[in-house]
């Protein structure tokens, strides 16, 4: 009986770790927060007279909210979505990725890896408790750094 106890203990530990590995708890961005982020981003850019589109995606890159300011070009719908997709997929600001590919030409094929990737500044991951829960992409300001600044201000205002 004594030899069975360590074996049973080992099996129960293995069974517990195996069952723990079959599910994952994740934090998700609510659609309400996504709408607030989109509105806040567009409003932030409007203060500087930039007509933009803001797109917020979930952790899988699916659109949760998209808002185009009246004068924003129609191309900004797709560019903001792709920037958000890129930021959430690669879990970092798109400006970092753009810089990385420019500095290391060996990584240039990254931009062609997926039709949804866009390595232009203006996409930021959204982190909650050190976990990427989504991303926001902005297009339409006269420079990706300005797109990113609007998104960053919105994230600071909405995500608490």
What is the pLDDT, as a whole number, of residue 14? Answer: 55
Judged on CB neighbours under 10 Å (0-12, 13-18, 19+), 60 is: exposed
Q: What is the pLDDT of residue 12?
A: 56
Residue 31's contacts (CB-CB under 8 Å, 6 or more residues apart) are 64, 65
Which residues in 65-86 are b (16+ Cβ under 10 Å) and which e?
bbbbbeebeeebbebbbbbbbb
Decide if 49 is inside a domain: yes
What is the residue range of 86's domain? 27-158
What mean pLDDT comes out for the span 146-158?
98
Question: What percent of the chain clears pLDDT 90, i.e. is strictly above it?
Answer: 78
Chain length of the chain:
160
Give Rg (Cα) of the chain.
21
**Residue 7 falls within a domain, yes or no?**
no
User: Is 80 among the domain residues?
Assistant: yes
Residue 70 lies in a domain: yes
Q: Is residue 19 part of a domain?
A: no
Euclidean distance between CA atoms 38 and 40, whole angstroms: 6
Residue 137 domain-assigned? Answer: yes
Residues 6+ apart with CB under 8 A from 110: 97, 101, 117, 119
**Number of folded domains that form the chain:** 1
Reported as a single tens digit per residue, the pLDDT across 31-85 is 999 999 999 999 999 999 999 999 999 999 999 999 999 999 999 999 999 999 9
CATH of the domain at 99: 3.30.450.150
Q: CA-CA distance, 55 to 151, in Å (whole number)?
A: 10
Give me the mean pLDDT over the 113-124 stretch: 95
- Asked whether residue 2 is domain-assigned, the answer is no
- Cα angle 26, 31, 32 (rounded to 5 degrees) comes to 120
- pLDDT at position 42 is 98
- The model's pLDDT over 8-19, given as tens digits with 9 standing for 90+, comes to 555 555 555 555
Examine the pLDDT at 120 and tell me if it is beyond 90: yes
Nearest one of 129, 124, 105, 119 to 56, comparing CA atoms = 124
């Amino acid at each position: 009986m004594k030899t069975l106890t360590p074996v049973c203990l080992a099996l129960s530990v293995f069974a517990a770790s195996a069952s723990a590995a079959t599910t994952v708890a994740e934090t998700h961005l609510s659609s309400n927060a996504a709408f607030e982020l989109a509105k806040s981003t567009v409003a932030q850019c409007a203060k500087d007279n930039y007509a933009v589109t803001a797109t917020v995606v979930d952790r899988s890159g699916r659109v949760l909210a998209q808002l185009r300011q009246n004068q924003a070009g129609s191309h900004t719908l797709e560019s903001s979505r792709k920037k958000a997709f890129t930021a959430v997929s690669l879990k970092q600001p798109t400006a970092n990725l753009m810089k990385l590919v420019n500095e290391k030409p060996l990584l240039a094929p990254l931009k062609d890896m997926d039709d949804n990737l866009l390595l232009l500044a203006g996409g930021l991951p959204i982190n909650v408790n050190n976990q990427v829960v989504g991303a926001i992409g902005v297009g339409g300001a006269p420079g990706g750094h300005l797109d990113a600044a609007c998104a960053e201000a919105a994230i600071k205002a909405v995500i608490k």
